[in-house]
Amino acid sequence: MILLRSNLNRPRVFFVAALSSMRKAFFGLAMTSAVVNLLALTGSFFMLQVYDRVIPGRSLPTLVGLGIIAGTLYAFQGVLELIRSLLLLRVGLSVDERFGKSVYESLVLLPSRIQTPGDGLQSVRDLDTVRGFLSGPGPIALFDIPWMPFYLGLCFLFHVWVGVTALAGALMLVALTIMAEQKSRQPAKEAAQLASERFALAEATRRNSEAVLAMGFGHQLGRKWSEVNCRYLDNHLRSTSFTISLSTLSKVLRMMLQSAVLAVGATLVIRQEATGGVMIASSILLSRALAPVELAIGQWKGFVRARDSWSRLIQLTQLMPTGLPEIMLPRPADVLKVENLHLAAPGSQNPIVRGIAFELRAGEALGVIGPSASGKSCLARGLVGLWQPIAGAVRLDGAAVSQWDPQLLGGHIGYLSQDVSLFGGSIAQNIARLDPDASSEKVIAAAKAAGVYDMVVQFHDGFDTIIGERGSALSGGQRQRIGLARALYGDPFLVVLDEPNSNLDADGEAALSRAILGIRARGGIAVVIAHRPSALAAVDKVLVLANGRAKSFGPKDEVLRRTPQSEPVAPARLMVPGEETAQ
């Protein structure tokens, strides 16, 4: 079956296409800015006419007519200014709408591809920064600055010395803008790094608050927080103080230039080389010409942050997978094959798991044992596609795991990690993997397969029980059993369980064994990472790892007989529940 996919699903192409789709909006902004800047001449020409025509002629009807015309033009300008601001707000929201999904997908995909610094949420903050800048006054200055030569040209038309004075002031403000760019670039990068470090420490403190409070080392974290926060505030103080200083200097300079133009104009009037209207109109015109530059200097810090954020978003999309398959592969149902698998931590080329190779058929279950740091959890991550192989492959029915769209592959895989993290919401939502269209039958079937149905219905609200963020309302064993039900939801072909019995009591371990037997009975494959012998009760094959390499693989009884007693593995013979009766 061919799954048609638009090129928009490819992130880099998506960015280009999205920007192209906003060209009309930017063109509309440019045209609106052009009309606004032309209407901004209203004040200058109104004063020119008042001083050169109304006052000498003492004509009130002319003044009234000019006032009506000026008022109409001012109202029209105000409407256009409002439209331009609202359009910029829509552009900012459009950027968030278009790129928000890609940013969220990066939170899911990239941690398994690269080492993400800080708290891993920099991309979200970057998107907020870009949207906030586009929705603010900063872009208005960028649209108005190209009109500065037009205003300066009009000053030269009034008189050459008026134009020279205006040009000198414009050059000084442009020099301040260049200085703002040079001095704010590095502090902006440091601010992003410090903010990420600050948020990461705050999140780690919140996540481990119980341990911090119980063992009384909050003051240690407090000192570390003070150190990080002081560096962040120092950077903020330096960068903001510089921006404020430049903004104040530009404002004072603009007022001085207005007075200078008035002085030049007054000199020209005294020498009868210009009229009083030219003197006043030149001052207003200069103010309008320099206003965008002054605004740009005041907003330059935000511009630099938005530019750096945009650059990071572009780099983010380049790290995202681009070659999504066009063919929807059939549901795997036969074999899991691991070929010379080498795995390394995201962003590293130093293998943790080396040369692992084995094959499992439908209905088989594998127990993976070995000492701590032998690579068991790394292998589990590689089997479900979280870590990309640096060599070798993991294949389902002959096709490498990478050939599946991650979202489609997830429907064929169940995974229970060591650190079971649940989402805020109900038990049913967590079991159903947050699927809004999940049927009650599938949720209940997964709960029964995991042996948690009786436990769940004992709660006051049953499957609708709200468990809190990260499942805080549940015990460790309850979280693990709900996580097992989530792994079994939808009857996935491959189920990988990493230390599934670490928090379970005897009843929970018996339910785990029945769940593994259920996977085998329906033709699935189970891989169980284990330290405790009871987790191996329902498996038929065992893989022993040591230092990231396969030490032994084969039928359970045969491998366990060859395994030295010093290793933390099961006894030579484990009875599967019900096996003795069956025999």
Secondary structure in 3-state letters for 85-130: HHHHHHHHHHHHHHHHHHHHHHHHHHHHCCCCCCCCCHHHHHHHHH
* Domains: count for the chain: 1
pLDDT digits (tens, 9 = 90+) for 404-460: 877 788 888 999 988 887 888 888 988 998 888 888 899 999 999 888 998 999 988
| Residue 79, in any domain of the structure | yes
Which residue pairs from 201-207 have beta carbons closer than 8 angstroms and sit at least 24 positions apart in sequence?
A: 201/225, 201/228, 202/119, 203/119, 204/119, 207/470
pLDDT digits (tens, 9 = 90+) for 531-555: 777 778 889 999 999 888 988 898 9
Q: Which of 24-28, 53-57, 556-560 shows the highest mean pLDDT? A: 556-560
| Residue 210, in any domain of the structure | yes
- At 486, the amino acid letter reads R
pLDDT of residue 17: 54
CA max distance for the chain: 120
| Residue 57, in any domain of the structure | yes
Is the pLDDT at 491 greater than 80? The verdict is: yes
What pLDDT band is residue 523 in, cutting at 50, 70 and 90?
very high
| Residue 442, in any domain of the structure | no
| Residue 574, in any domain of the structure | no
| Residue 309, in any domain of the structure | yes
Instruction: Please tell me the distance from the alpha carbon of residue 137 to that of residue 147, in angstroms, as a whole number.
Output: 17
Which residue pairs from 425-429 have beta carbons closer than 8 angstroms and sit at least 24 positions apart in sequence?
A: 425/466, 425/467, 426/461, 426/463, 426/464, 426/465, 426/466, 426/467, 427/456, 427/459, 427/462, 427/463, 427/464, 427/465, 427/467, 427/482, 428/463, 428/464
| Residue 152, both tokens | 């300066």
| Residue 417, in any domain of the structure | no
| Residue 44, both tokens | 């200058």
pLDDT digits (tens, 9 = 90+) for 124-156: 888 888 888 888 888 888 888 888 888 888 888
Is the pLDDT at 45 greater than 70? The verdict is: yes
Torsion 317-318-320-325 (CA) sign: positive
Is the pLDDT at 221 greater than 80? The verdict is: no
User: By residue range, what is the domain housing residue 191?
Assistant: 7-319
Instruction: Please tell me the distance from the alpha carbon of residue 165 to that of residue 258, in angstroms, as a whole number.
Output: 9
| Residue 317, both tokens | 């999309």
Mean pLDDT for 506-512 is 84
pTM to 2 decimal places: 0.67
pLDDT digits (tens, 9 = 90+) for 331-387: 888 999 999 999 988 777 888 899 999 999 999 999 999 888 888 889 998 898 888
The chain-wide mean pLDDT, for the chain, equals 80
For the domain that residue 233 is a member of, what is the CATH number? 1.20.1560.10
| Residue 162, in any domain of the structure | yes
pLDDT digits (tens, 9 = 90+) for 277-301: 788 888 888 888 888 877 777 777 7
pLDDT of residue 336: 92
Q: Which DSSP helix (H) or strand (E) runs through 151? A: helix 148-158
Q: DSSP letter at 570?
A: -
